Amino acid sequence: MVYLIVFLPLLGSIIAGFFGKKLGDKFSLYLTSSLLIISMVLGWYEFFQLSTNYLDKTYPLMTWINVGDFNVVWSLRYDMLSAVMIIVITTVSAMVHVYSIGYMSHDNSKPRFMSYLSLFTFAMLMLVTADNLIQLFFGWEGVGVASYLLIGFWYHKPTAHTAAMKAFVVNRVGDFGFILGIIAIYSIFGSVYFDEIFEDVKGLQNIYIILIGFKINVIELISILLFIGAMGKSAQIGLHTWLPDAMEGPTPVSALIHAATMVTAGVFLVCRMSPLLEYAPFALSVITIVGALTAIFAATIGLTQFDIKRVIAYSTCSQLGYMFFAAGVSAYPASMFHLTTHAFFKALLFLGAGSVIHAMSNEQDMRKMGGIWKKIPITYALMWIGSLALAGIPFFSGYYSKDLILEAAWAASTNSGYIAFWLGALAAFLTAFYSWRVIIMTFHGVSNADKDVLSHVHESPLVMLIPLFVLGFGAILSGWFFYENFVGHHWHDFWGHSIFIADTNKAMKLAHYVPKWVKYLPVLLAVLGIVCAYVFYLLIPSLPKKVSITFKPIHKLFYNKWYFDEIYDYLFVKSFIKIGNIFWKKGDENTIDRYGPNGISKLVKNISSKSIIIQSGYIYHYAFAMLIGLVVLLTWLLMDYGL
């Protein structure tokens, strides 16, 4: 069945992509959606089967690479880590496929869109079922290519293909680190297979190399390089700039990329490599700090944005920070727990936002919304559920996973853990604030929408609402349902060998025994955030403008996304253009062309212009020239032989 789970999306992609126009839009829509639903059902069935017998399996497919001593077999690894990722990916992807039937009903390229969605899902499934780094990298890059196609789906929009190219290029930066990490692993371990790497890592933990004059632990170096790859895919601070721009794609794409697939690849990689990372304490500290900074950094930007999809996108970036600093304090089960719950409520929020955009005639600016909750009550209620889960309000899914992450960060009893806890707690307050800022600006107050747009506001069709109900169900119950197995007292039995935590790292064990104020603080901050949003945007609507004027420099910093795009544009784009112009003008034109092809052609032209004067057209001139040549030749021969 694992074969079917992985390859059914690929089958749907091929049929819709190559034969979609001939078979028709409806056939492509329903075929790809049906195959994803089957894949989802089989994924859940296999998950429950594995949950009862805990027997990891590997399903070989074929010999993929065989060059000298380097041999890679294409296999499907099915352990609990893979199984959890499969149910998350297939469930969210299936709901996105069904949702797209309604959302993309007016698009002229429905088969192409559904083909890209299914291809994206297949690439992600290949990534999470890999049993070696080469296969994982294949899925890794496959996801990158498919995301490029999906973000730039509306290629006639300049902003869309620019965003697609940006996502592709920024991810290449992280991927370069990932490639170096794979090369380093093969050089040290002599293998790219996870089992062989993890078996040998303990014996190689004291190996050092000299790099740029510094003595560096090899395991630490490899871990940092792999994390750089994860930073790109999971949009951590510094390599996050592509994520908000990815909103240029259709809303179903936003839900798929930001909820369960592309952005979670980095988190999965870190958890998969836990047996390696556990012997790299410095790398774990780096992961913790970067994750914590991302959580608070993205939350500050979400406070000031007005595009409903961009606010939710920065929320994704912030929540990914939580997942990373959970992994950084060796609470990998908590990281995977939040990944799972987040997939449900974040997909719900994105698809709910898509329902709002659909109702508002493609309007995304929250300043042009308001007062519409009575016209789309179902979407409104479901957005409430998603926001409650995101804010971490008891007893919604986000409450269980987010609070446990903060408890684990405190329980780690390290400097990086304490930093992560306090930054994460502050981010929890900001998350609740901007979540209800979205709710109030979108649905409440006096409407600022155009009268014509407002008159056409209507609830989405049933085919778009059904996925929202399914995801809403997950946003309410997934935390409670998965808690005991994922992070309860018997989490080790559940995860088996798919996750490894060293005996010295006790954050997961001690997370359940932290002081009560540590448990209650995130919830209190979340409630306070909701109250503040209510005061700012409903009770005293003039207050946000006054605050933005009073703290203008800070507001400007947040609104302009900490100027990361401007800094990168100055440091890399403009500087490289200047360097390129120098090489072009002084190197290519003034040197290579001047003394190369252009110079030679000019020389030939000058010689020909001079020599043309001897081409008079008179026979006696040519006869005289021949005579002179003959005399010169005879003179040379006579002198040569001494005559």
51-101 pLDDT, tens per residue?
888 788 889 888 888 887 888 888 999 999 999 999 999 999 999 999 999
Predicted pLDDT of residue 532: 95
Check whether 260 has a pLDDT greater than 70. no
CA distance 438 to 356: 11
Query: Across residues 18-36, what is the average pLDDT?
Result: 92
Check whether 114 has a pLDDT greater than 90. yes
Residues with Cβ < 8 Å from 262, sequence gap 6 or more?
120, 124, 143, 144, 147, 233, 256
pLDDT band per the 50, 70, 90 thresholds, residue 258: confident
Check whether 357 has a pLDDT greater than 80. yes
Predicted pLDDT of residue 614: 67
Distances (CA, A) of 405 to 137, 434, 517: 28, 21, 15
Count CB atoms within 10 A of the CB of residue 538. 14
- Residue 438 near residue 387, CB atoms below 8 Å: yes
pLDDT band per the 50, 70, 90 thresholds, residue 495: very high
377-422 pLDDT, tens per residue?
999 999 999 999 999 999 899 999 999 999 999 999 999 999 999 9
Taking alpha carbons only, the member of 133, 150, 116 closest to residue 32 is: 116
Check whether 448 has a pLDDT greater than 90. no
530-545 pLDDT, tens per residue?
999 999 999 998 999 9
Predicted pLDDT of residue 610: 72
What pTM was computed for the model?
0.90
219 or 629: which carries more pLDDT confidence? 219
Predicted pLDDT of residue 334: 95
Dihedral class, residue 190 (left if φ above 0, else alpha if ψ from -120 to 50, else beta): left
- Residue 37 near residue 94, CB atoms below 8 Å: yes
Q: Which residues of 442-459 are buried (b: 16+ CB within 10 A; e: fewer)?
A: bbbeebebeeebbeebeb
Predicted pLDDT of residue 595: 74
CA distance 500 to 194: 13
The percent of the chain in helix, strand and coil, each rounded to the nearest 5, is: 75, 5, 20
Check whether 528 has a pLDDT greater than 90. yes
% of the chain residues with pLDDT over 90: 63
How remote is the C-alpha of 630 from its chain's centroid? 81
Taking alpha carbons only, the member of 157, 372, 348 closest to residue 250 is: 157
Query: Across residues 551-563, what is the average pLDDT?
Result: 93
Predicted pLDDT of residue 105: 85
Grouping H, G, I as helix, E, B as strand and the rest as coil, residue 530 is helix
Count CB atoms within 10 A of the CB of residue 439. 22
Query: Across residues 606-635, what is the average pLDDT?
Result: 76
Query: Across residues 346-361, what is the average pLDDT?
Result: 91
Check whether 620 has a pLDDT greater than 70. no
Query: Across residues 583-593, what is the average pLDDT?
Result: 75
2-20 pLDDT, tens per residue?
899 999 999 999 999 999 8
Predicted pLDDT of residue 643: 58
pLDDT band per the 50, 70, 90 thresholds, residue 332: very high
pLDDT band per the 50, 70, 90 thresholds, residue 37: very high
Query: In the predicted model, what is the mean pLDDT of the chain?
Result: 90
Query: Across residues 584-598, what is the average pLDDT?
Result: 74
- Among 17-21, 203-207, 402-406, 429-433, whose mean pLDDT is lowest? 203-207
% of the chain residues with pLDDT over 70: 98
